[in-house]
Structures are given as C-alpha cells and as structure tokens.
Amino acid sequence: MLSRHNLPVAPGASLIAAAALVGAVIAAWNFFAPMTGITGTAGAMLVLVSSLLLVLDGAILNFFRHGAVYWTFIVLGILGVIGTLAAALFLHAGWLMTAMVVVAIGIIVEIVLHASRPAKGAV
C-alpha cells in the first residue's frame, strides 16, 4: 500500500503545475483574444511566459523532491507566483490572480508535506 510519502506524484507540486497551467491558459486568452483590455500587450505576454515557467516549476518539483535543486525551485516558485500575482493585479487580470493564489496554495502544501516527509534514507 502506498503512503502519501511515496505517491507517484507530489500533491503540492502537482497543484502548482495544474494551477499554473490554468493561469497560462487564462494569460493566453488575455493575450490573444480581442477586447480583453490587454490584448497583444507585453504585459500579457510576460504573465503568459511566467505562468508557463511555473508549470515547469511544478513539474520539476515532482521529480526533484530533495536537496538544493528542490529548494531552489521552491524559492523560484515563490518568486514567480509573487511576480505573476503582482503583474496580474496591474493587468486587471482577476482570473489569473485567482490561479496564482491557487499556485501559492500549492507551494504551501508542498512545503508542509515536505516538512512532514521522512528524511532521505530514513525508514
């Protein structure tokens, strides 16, 4: 039987990736659809790229669960979500902000579960 510590995917990291993917879709809509108020703007492209990077961040966290790489991508994820959230605020992109809040929750979940996870090599 699988415990939550040896699931094939990490719930927190998966939530990060999934919410960031939703954010990327929203950002793409804002960029490409007419009449969004930010259609075709550099700001809309910026949050599209940053959302995709957060998807990548969540995916990497699923594979690298320990050590310096893990914490590096946790920190990058925190910076990414803060930056994207701030950008979305100034872009008046409410749904993107919501997605980024979920990404932030995913990071918190990931950190909490990681803290409760047995150290590498422990039985």
Partner 1 sequence: MSVRTLLRSTAPSVAFAAVLLALPATAWAQDQDTNATMVPSVDTMQTPGETKLSPPAKTMAPPADAAPTNAETPEAASGGNADADSDAARLRLIANPDVPLVPETPVWNTFHGQLNAQKYSPLTEITADNVGKLEKVWEYHTGDVSDGSGDKPSTVWSATPVFANDTLYIGTPFYRVVALDPGTGKVKWTFDSKSTLKALSQPALKNRGVAYWQADNPVAGKACQKIIYLGTMDARLFAMDADTGKPCENFADNGVLDVNQWNTVNDVFPLSLLQPPTVVGNHVIMGWAGKDWETEKAPPGNVFSVDAETGKLQWSFNTIPPAIAEQTGTANVWTGMSVDEGLGLVYLPVASPSPNYWGGNRTQAIPYATSTTALDIETGKVVWSRQWVHHDIWDYDINSAPTLMDIDVDGKRIPALMQATKMGFLFVVDRRTGKDVWPIEERPVPQGDGTIDGEVYAKTQPFPTKPAPLLDQAKKPDIWWAADAVGFGECSALWDKLQYDGMYSPPTHNGQGVLTYPDSAGGVQWGGVAFDPRSETAVVNVSHVVQYIKLYPRDEYDRLTNGKTGQGEKGYHPQKGAPYGMSLDNAVNWLGMPCWAPPYGELVALDMKTGDVKWRRPVGASQKYGFYMPESMGSVTIGGPAVTAGGLIFIGASMDSKVRAYSLDTGKELWSDLVEAPSVSNPAVYEYKGREYVAFVAGGNTIIKNQVSDQLVVYALPKD
Binding footprint of partner 1 on the chain (CB under 8 A): 34-35, 37-38, 41-44, 46, 87, 90-92
- Closest separation in Å from C-beta 29 to partner 1: 14
Cβ atoms within 10 Å, residue 39: 13
Q: Which is nearer to partner 1, 32 or 90 (CB)?
A: 90
Q: Which is nearer to partner 1, 46 or 108 (CB)?
A: 46
- Closest separation in Å from C-beta 42 to partner 1: 4
- Closest separation in Å from C-beta 98 to partner 1: 18
Q: Which is nearer to partner 1, 17 or 93 (CB)?
A: 93
